[in-house]
Structure formats: C-alpha cells, structure tokens
Structure 1
Amino acid sequence: MAVPKRKSSKARKNKRRSNVWKLQAPAFSKCPQCGELKTPHRVCGNCGFYKGKEIIKVEA
C-alpha cells in the first residue's frame, strides 16, 4: 500500500476539498401561464399554477 512521504498541509487539503462545496445559483424557468420566473418543479407563486392546473387560488 502506498504511504505518503510527507504530511499534506491543512491548506492543501482544504484546496482539494473546496471544489466539492461550491454553491450553485438556483435555476429559474418561466411560468407558461403568467411568464413570471420560478424555480422548476414548483408551483408558481405569482399565479398558483403548476403543469397547466390551478393548484393554489391566488387573489389579485
């Protein structure tokens, strides 16, 4: 089994691990009903529609 010759520093270890923990901005899609931006697979907060059906009654 291979054994490292020297101890890898905390900075080197953290640099290696940092790529895994990058945060991504949430994706947005347009609501086909009202055109408002919303997150995919969620009910539109503006009109209350999901997949062409009214799920939540939103008062104007």
Structure 2
Amino acid sequence: MPVVDSDSGEACRVAPFRQIAADLAAEIERGELAPGRPLPSERELTERYGVARNTAR
C-alpha cells in the first residue's frame, strides 16, 4: 500500500496492518468513527484493503 512520505513527498510502502491502523486513527480524528461506536468488522477491513483476515485482526 503506497503512501506519501511526509519528508520527501515520495511514495513508499507501508505494512498493511500499519496502514489500516493509521486509516482508522484518521477516521476517529475526523469524527467519522464516533467514541463508543464499533470499529469496522474484520470482514469489512479485509474487503476494503484486500488483505487476509489475520492482517485485519
């Protein structure tokens, strides 16, 4: 999963589990995932990111 390096501005690869965690944290910060509400299910995350269930866990 490519992301942009904040220092160089170049695309780099990030481990999928780190990308999922970063995306979920960003959704929480933006208020898209409200406090006390459940996170997306493993199934939703595997479909969204195209990863194995263990990676989404």
Q: In proportion to residue count, which structure has more helix?
A: 2
TM-score range, shorter chain: under 0.3
| TM-score between the two structures when normalised by the length of structure 2 | 0.27
| TM-score between the two structures when normalised by the length of structure 1 | 0.26
Larger Rg: 1
